[in-house]
Amino acid sequence: MASASDTIRVSSGKSAVAPIGSSRITSIAQVKAIVPANGAQWGIQLRAASTTSGYLVKLKIGTGGNLVGAIKRLSGKSAKTLHDWAPLGVKVKPGQSVRLEATVTAKAQVRTYMRAWVDGEPKPVVWHMSASDSTSSRYRSPGRTYVWAAVPEGAPTTSVSFPATSVHDYSAASAGRISVVAPLSWTSSTFSLAVIPDTQVETNDPKNTLFLNRVDWLTRHKSTLNVAYALHTGDMTNWGWLDAPQIERARQAMARVRNAGIPYALTVGNHDTRAVGWNGIAGSSGYGGSAYMYNPECPGRLGGAECKSWLLVRHTEAFNKAFPLSSMGGVGGAYEAGKSDNYWTTFEAGGTKWLVLTLEPWPRKSVVTWAQNVLATHRSHNVIIQIHHYLTKTGAVSDSNAGYGATSPQYLREKLVAKYPNVKLIFSGHTGAFAQRVETVSGNRVAAFVGNDLGAGTNPLRIVTIDTRTGRLVNTVYNPVKNAAALTTSTTLKFIH
């Protein structure tokens, strides 16, 4: 491992290296570099048996300040180009801090990947560049990792600084932890979905800015992440129908997403309905339970006949006032005219058509029948189902109505997911932290995700990046507070074109 701050001094027409990692066969390396002037190049050398061997990923400033990269195989004084110089979609200038990450994998067909981003920006969810090497000259043995720099002929001697470096072993078991997954690259068939999990505790406190922080992070990086659509899986508030400022905070946060030009669809959670209440609200009796049907004040406020969770959970008046159906993006229809409880929206991305089916929590059977008709009449669309509760915290499909609703997620799986092969993705919240389930249902491969929180003081945001051409899907959970990925996974699905 290199020291906390490595500086390589390079003279005109020369290159130089500094070791940052011990000998490894498969590794991932990341460096932070101060962008040099004078046309100097910088990069990472992997699987190197000597200072003049191995695989080199390198960067330089191209025309107009565009960062460009290349991948080469070194052998003494010669170099074989595996991927020629190409722009990475990042603009930089000398003196800025830039992160470069690279990995080398496999032996039969060696693969080298790289991505780069301005320090402080989110790590790209895809690799910018990759190259394969299956020739007899490929490097199949362990080698060291170096930081590398070069100065063109005629330029003055230049110092290239690397203030931070890291190198880790890479294996399939550690892929999610270190955010190395099967590669994606930005093409016309690639786009991202942003999924916001339960924000109930964030709207509880007027001093809690996590909801705003999250959406501001999303809107700042919508182009970098190529976000085509955003979702919220419900429980926007804790008990907004009793405490109007909670729902106003949620409304203001989502207004920033809308004003940034990101279309979205929002889901009703049980905390967004009259099914949930709490103490500490003006006029409250001091009851401390969350199911409002048991609160002694419920009969006085709503009438005894109404104080049943399966009735209260359908009272969404406050949610609908704050988030009318007209505020959603691309609405095509609704179960009840003008209501945001059950509706469908459409968008196009990656050369494919998409339909987002948003359902009430633990839906009524009549709603599921309506949803069946929506899916049956849109078989050319890839379908996303978003509902507040589907997976348990361990990633199993729940068989419970959680004491609130008319049906269970298992019922939804049987009546919708198992019958309609255009269902591709399912997003839910309500419980647990972050988990996923990829399964084949009636011959159709479906990916389901649950997201809630990452613990106190965090504001997670799921970014799902899809390449519709290859079917590759990369799921990254970001923590905007730390501006870092908390976990990354990947899978492959078959999309409708």
Q: What is the share, in percent, of the chain residues with pLDDT greater than 90?
A: 70
Q: What's the pLDDT score for residue 1?
A: 36
**Structure tokens that stand for 247 in this block:** 């729902």
Kindly indicate the confidence band of residue 6, based on its pLDDT and cuts at 50, 70 and 90: confident
Sheet strand arrangement including 164-169: 129-133, 110-118, 97-105, 27-34, 164-169
pLDDT score of 387 more than 50: yes
Q: Distance of CA 48 to CAs 21, 53, 446, Å? A: 10, 5, 41
What pLDDT was estimated at residue 482?
A: 75
Tell me how far apart the alpha carbons of residues 367 and 454 are, in angstroms, rounded to a whole number. Answer: 32
Q: Could you give phi then psi for residue 75, rounded to 5 degrees?
A: -150, 95
Task: Count how many Cα atoms sit within 13 Å of the Cα of residue 51 in the half-sphere of its side chain.
Answer: 9
Task: Pull the structure tokens for residue 69.
Answer: 């990269």
Residue 480 has pLDDT above 90, yes or no: no
Predicted local confidence at residue 4, as pLDDT: 38
| Single pTM value for the model | 0.77
- Quick: pLDDT tens for 482-497: 777 777 788 899 999 9
Render pLDDT for 79-91 as a digit per residue (tens, 0 to 9): 999 999 988 878 8
List strands edge to edge, sheet with 461-467.
Answer: 264-266, 227-232, 190-196, 461-467, 472-479, 484-492
Tens digit of each residue's pLDDT (9 = 90 or more) over 107-117: 998 989 899 99
